[in-house]
């Protein structure tokens, strides 16, 4: 069996990182995060730039506003939940065994990487790759590698960059860390301060028996943690794969360009996360919380699953153009559905065909011009009403049906629009009819076939159909479908038989 080996990714001040992850323009600014109910809000998290200006956790809003240059944001639990899921998914690319060791305002993930050397190389190389992968999705983390679970966790929280602790050197690696990293109860922390114990190295040097006699059995665990030998039962979690990005705005957004600026970063993250599993985006559900308590929902569904960032952003732009929000936007959520990208084998001498993405952009532009219900694929409705259909979004079927060879049959050529005629009846059958172009004499008439429905609504119909053979004055024979609307006593030619 492989020896134990753990790697910890520690994202400090996670509430602040989660809020600025999708907003690059805020990252260089001093940011402080407030939580609580106004006017009793206090700072719960801040970035390094705000700390340098003098901000600190626990400050009230009034105290924070007195510090020039510090931008105050409200904490968003939904944003942190979505960001934590992204960080967990990114880490799962390196190991399926992950334990969430988060505490306070930090997000800390510990990965079991025993036996991954053949896949990712030495532990130091894996640590740098993990840090770069987390940075690509917007997280600044510190990484620590150790054969002891708690050593990796403590060292990552107290260090910056990448630290690799060799086996057997856990005690020396932890010796300079302050005693506060153990989060001791206040009474015991005061006792150690009176004794002059300020670092983990000084705690590990105390005799175990005497320490337990004075502070109880829990002191044995603290000493083991300080020496880097405390055992741990690994409890991996099973993250669910969801492609979701959420961004809550500090101020309501009224301009579509500002929404697209944030949407660009969100689509890039969704595409990159899907590409990590060799997938593309089959659809994107757009959800927005609007000012006044209203909600906006829309769906972007390309004909083929795609991972083209510019193409998906163009569809998002056309969606906003066709259905602009009716109020200022408070938050934006993109939920994507993953799918397999299509592959097409082209012939060596075959002409190049247009890209499938052009069809989606063209359809989206047509919808913005003529309306949503007038563009798509016609689908027959399950009704007896003649010519009843609805429009659905165009989609390429996953598997094309192979048409079987059949004997030629007669074709029905519909007239769009139908051709109005005046009909003369004999014995309740059409005998002759006249259009604007010619006169016809009926030789044979089959019918009537009556259909009716929806008598309870304004869309009711009551028709009778006749299949007739007729000849014109010039001797030309035609076969056509005559339809009579009984409610208006009007006749029309619906189709010709070819």
Provide the token pair at 169.
């050197």
pLDDT at position 411 over 60: yes
pLDDT at position 403 over 70: no
Which of 117-126, 222-231, 234-243, 312-321 shows the lowest per-residue confidence on average (mean pLDDT)? 234-243
Provide the token pair at 91.
């880490």
Residues 6+ apart with CB under 8 A from 383: 453
pLDDT in tens, 339-391: 876 666 666 776 666 666 677 778 778 877 877 777 878 888 888 777 788 88
pLDDT at position 458 over 70: yes
Taking Cα atoms as reference points, which of 357, 274, 273, 271 lies closest to residue 311?
Answer: 357
CATH topology of domain 244-339: Dna Ligase; domain 1 (3.30.1490)
pLDDT of residue 139: 93
- Half-sphere exposure for 393 (CA within 13 Å, toward CB): 12
pLDDT of residue 202: 93
pLDDT at position 318 over 80: yes
Q: Which residue has the higher pLDDT, 151 or 275?
A: 151
pLDDT at position 209 over 60: yes
Average pLDDT, integer, range 276-291: 89
Mean pLDDT for the chain overall: 87
pLDDT at position 1 over 50: no
Q: Kindly indicate the confidence band of residue 431, based on its pLDDT and cuts at 50, 70 and 90.
A: very high
pLDDT of residue 396: 59
CATH topology of domain 6-167: MutS, DNA mismatch repair protein, domain I (3.40.1170)
pLDDT in tens, 69-99: 999 999 999 899 989 999 998 999 899 899 9
pLDDT at position 119 over 80: yes
Average pLDDT, integer, range 212-221: 91
Average pLDDT, integer, range 487-494: 89
pLDDT in tens, 130-163: 999 999 988 999 999 999 999 999 999 999 999 9
pLDDT of residue 409: 67
Average pLDDT, integer, range 451-477: 87
Q: Kindly indicate the confidence band of residue 467, based on its pLDDT and cuts at 50, 70 and 90.
A: very high
pLDDT of residue 321: 84
Average pLDDT, integer, range 467-479: 89
Domain ranges of the chain: 6-167, 244-339, 412-497
> What's the sign of the alpha-carbon dihedral 220, 222, 224, 226?
negative
pLDDT of residue 154: 94
pLDDT of residue 204: 92
pLDDT of residue 395: 64
Task: Check for a shared fold between 6-167 and 244-339.
Answer: no
Q: Tell me the percentage of the chain whose pLDDT exceeds 90.
A: 46
CA triplet 398, 403, 409: central angle to 5 degrees? 140
pLDDT in tens, 19-61: 988 888 888 899 999 998 888 899 999 999 999 999 999 999 9
Taking Cα atoms as reference points, which of 317, 285, 320 lies closest to residue 299?
Answer: 285
Q: Tell me the percentage of the chain whose pLDDT exceeds 70.
A: 93
pLDDT of residue 346: 62
pLDDT at position 2 over 60: no
For residues 433 and 422, give the distance between their C-alpha atoms in angstroms, rounded to a whole number: 5
């Amino acid at each position: 069996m492989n020896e134990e080996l753990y790697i910890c990714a520690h994202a400090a001040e996670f509430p602040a990182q989660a809020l600025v992850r999708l907003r690059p323009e805020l990252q260089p600014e001093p940011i402080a995060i407030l939580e609580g109910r106004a006017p009793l809000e206090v700072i719960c998290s801040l970035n390094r730039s705000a700390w340098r200006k003098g901000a600190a956790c626990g400050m009230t809003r009034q105290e924070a506003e007195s510090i020039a240059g510090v931008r105050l944001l409200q904490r968003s639990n939904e944003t942190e939940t979505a960001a934590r899921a992204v960080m967990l998914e990114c880490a799962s690319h390196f190991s399926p065994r992950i334990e969430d060791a988060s505490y306070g305002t930090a997000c800390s993930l510990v990965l079991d990487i025993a036996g991954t050397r053949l896949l990712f190389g030495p532990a130091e190389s894996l640590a740098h790759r993990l840090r770069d992968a987390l940075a690509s999705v917007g997280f600044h983390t510190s990484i620590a590698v150790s054969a002891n679970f708690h050593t990796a966790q403590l060292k990552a929280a107290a260090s910056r960059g990448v630290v690799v602790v060799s086996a057997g050197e856990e005690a020396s690696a932890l010796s300079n860390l302050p005693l506060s990293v153990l989060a001791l109860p206040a009474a015991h922390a005061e006792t150690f301060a009176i004794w002059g114990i300020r670092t983990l190295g000084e705690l590990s040097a105390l005799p175990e028996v005497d320490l337990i006699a004075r502070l109880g059995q829990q002191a044995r665990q603290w000493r083991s943690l300080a020496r880097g030998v405390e055992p741990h039962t690994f409890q991996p979690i099973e993250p669910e794969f969801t492609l979701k990005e959420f961004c809550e705005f500090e101020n309501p957004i009224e301009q579509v360009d500002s929404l697209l600026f944030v949407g660009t970063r969100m689509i890039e993250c969704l595409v990159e996360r899907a590409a990590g599993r060799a997938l593309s985006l089959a659809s994107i559900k757009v959800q927005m919380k609007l000012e006044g308590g209203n909600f906006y929902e829309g769906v972007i569904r390309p004909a083929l699953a795609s991972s083209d960032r510019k193409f998906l952003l163009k569809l998002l732009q056309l969606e906003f153009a066709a259905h602009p929000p009716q109020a200022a936007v408070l938050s934006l959520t993109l939920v994507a559905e993953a799918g397999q990208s299509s592959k097409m084998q082209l012939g060596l001498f075959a002409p190049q065909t247009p890209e499938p993405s052009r069809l989606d952009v063209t359809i989206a532009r047509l919808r913005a011009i003529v309306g949503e219900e007038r563009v798509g694929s016609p689908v027959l409705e399950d009704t007896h009403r003649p010519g009843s259909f609805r429009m659905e979004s165009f989609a390429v079927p996953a598997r094309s049906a192979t048409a079987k060879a059949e004997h030629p049959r007669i074709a029905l050529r519909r007239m769009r629009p139908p051709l109005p005629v005046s009909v003369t009846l004999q014995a309740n059958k059409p005998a002759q009819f006249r259009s604007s172009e010619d006169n016809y004499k009926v030789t044979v008439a089959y019918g009537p076939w009556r259909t009716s429905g929806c008598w309870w609504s304004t869309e009711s119909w009551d028709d009778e159909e006749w299949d007739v053979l007729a000849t014109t004055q010039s001797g030309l024979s035609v076969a056509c479908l005559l339809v009579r609307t009984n409610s208006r006593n009007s006749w029309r030619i619906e189709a010709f038989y070819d």
